[in-house]
Structure 1
């Protein structure tokens, strides 16, 4: 069954700006189409002044004495004002308050899932109300709720600011998180990229320092080995010379006076 359309029955906003013949005061302070002061004159004279230039006489400061009127193209003026209001509304950030509920005895997997929801809302520049729901005798241990809320705020500290610290309200404990300045300014990703580059540069510098130390140790070891080589050669030469000398006999030499065998 088709849903009947609902029409906006509110009357359109009425333009209350007084222009031309709707300006009923006897005299006005006139500003011409260039923005220059013309001075105070009768209203009918100011109207003729505007009509002679195919423009409108528009009251821009009704509370002044006398009221201030400008000579301009009112249709163009209304269009420009509407464009300015549209641009101002476009740049306004509409903050929505979301709510995520936790239990004091929450499992780690459920905590990670709900933390992801909070992170997504914060990245969308929404505020998030965190509610800890106590049941039964759990309400006698509010510190468990405070621990969860403090942990969440710490885990998301780059994305959020704590706008309202944990407060107890009956069986519920609440905390309000708002998007951080970096999130609102849209610079969070840039800040994280710069931090990652700085960390990578630090790791690279530490690796280069370790390589320099290793190279220096290797050079020192090579130099020490080179200094030890001549001494080793000298010891080897002495050992070789000693091995070439005749070995002394342990048997007694034969005597010339020995009697010949009979």
Structure 2
């Protein structure tokens, strides 16, 4: 087995590579910048404009000035075609296209559904719905009718049932394999009118439409809520001055409170009037507390101001 030794730059590291593997390796990525070894290329600008045939060194200088890469897009042409572009962005877009192509690849699946010869109308409608769903998804459907006992002697009834099913789903599928007897069973294959990839694209569009409809509904609800929210705020603002206008009323009531304060001195002025009477009738107040000691606890404080009243009047008598 022949092999070669490749020495790495800057350090003595050796890599043994099988020549057969080297021959089997195919370069899939395009050559860029210094990897382009041809003397001249047909240059295409970043916007798709035709620059013309220029030397590779000149094209590299233009790519460096524009902060772009020189990518060889058509190596088999004479001279090769190169384009000024961002190679990272170009590679990302290429990967996305390849992924989308793999996703849309037609992977047709053969579905199978079974019928009885004496099937109930409701069951027939249910199974026909399954067949329609499979065909709309781009899958093939193998329809099988199972015969029991003496039903095997009447295959024409099974054929009529299969033909009826084919007519009912003619908008979504066609008869790919005609009904044929296989022992106790009769089979027929229905093929989808739409391809698997087209069916997937339609499903995605429907899903996008449904999501858009949900988004519009949610946005409409949000707008309605936003429109309703300012109203209570305005009401609160409007009620605020009303409350502020009502509050001063109780504030004005305390101003009237001095009236009872002015009324309090009146009983104080009345108290000295009975104070003049006790002078001739001194023994009477002494007898009254004895008789009314228990029923009248409130008047007890009145006798306290009586001795205070005669002191200011004594000088008046002297004058």
Band of TM-score, shorter chain: 0.5 to 0.7
What's the CA shift string for 1:30-61, capped at 9, x where partnerless?
Answer: 11223222222332332222122211000111
- Alpha-carbon distance in structure 1 between the residues aligned to 2:150 and 2:36: 73
Shift of 1:150: 1.1
**Does 2:58 match 1:50?**
no
Instruction: Quote the residue 2:178 is aligned against.
Output: 166
Are 1:131 and 2:144 counterparts?
Answer: yes
Gap change, CA 1:35 and 1:111, over 3 Å in 2: closer
* Structure 1 residues 38 and 130: alpha-carbon distance in aligned structure 2, compared to 1, 3 A threshold: same
SS in 1 for 2:180: strand
- Aligned mate of 2:78, from 62, 65, 71: 65
Q: Rg larger in 1 or in 2?
A: 2
Sort the Cα spacing of 1:17 and 1:134 in 2 relative to 1 into closer, same or farther, 3 A.
Answer: farther
Spell out, residue by residue over 1:48-105, the C-alpha distance to the aligned partner (whole angstroms, 9 max, x if none): 2212221100011122111100011111222333444556667777654321122444
Are the counterparts in 1 of residues 162 and 179 from structure 2 also a CA contact under 8 Å?
A: no
Does residue 79 of the first structure (1) align with residue 89 of the second (2)?
A: no
Indicate how the Cα distance of structure 1 residues 136 and 16 shifts in structure 2: closer, same or farther if over 3 A, else same. Answer: farther
Asked if 2 retains the 8 angstrom alpha-carbon contact of 1:27 and 1:66, the reply is yes
Counterpart of 2:161? 148
TM-score (norm 2): 0.44
Indicate yes or no: 2:105 matched with 1:100. no
Q: What is the CA–CA distance in structure 2 between the aligned matches of 1:67 and 1:136, rounded to whole Å? A: 74
Where 2:37 maps in the other structure, the secondary structure is coil
Give the Cα separation in 2 of the matches to 1:36 and 1:153.
55
Secondary structure at the aligned position of 2:31 is classed as coil
Aligned length: 172
- Aligned mates of 1:169, 1:67 — CA distance in 2: 61
- Is the counterpart of residue 16 in structure 1 residue 29 in structure 2? yes
1:38 corresponds to 2:30? no
Q: Deviations over 1:167-220 (max 9, x none)?
A: 326334332334557x9668xxxxxxxxxxxxxxxxxxxxxxxxxxxxxxxxxx
Higher RCO (CA-CA < 8 Å; seq separation 6+): 1
Go from structure 1 to structure 2 and tell me whether the alpha carbon gap of 1:136 and 1:76 turns closer, same or farther (over 3 Å shift). Answer: same
1:126 Cα deviation after fit:
3.5
Q: In the alignment, is the contact (CA less than 8 A) between 1:146 and 1:166 conserved in 2?
A: no
Gaps of 5+ in 2: 1-25, 204-319
Name the SS for the 2:134 alignment partner.
helix
**RMSD of aligned Cα (Å):** 3.5
Give, in whole Å, the separation in 2 of the partners of 1:100 and 1:147: 17
Structure 1 unmatched ranges of 5 or more? 1-12, 187-262
Greater mean alpha carbon deviation, residues 33-42 or residues 77-86: 77-86
SS of the equivalent of 1:59 reads: strand
Q: Contact 1:55 / 1:72 at 8 angstroms: preserved in 2?
A: yes
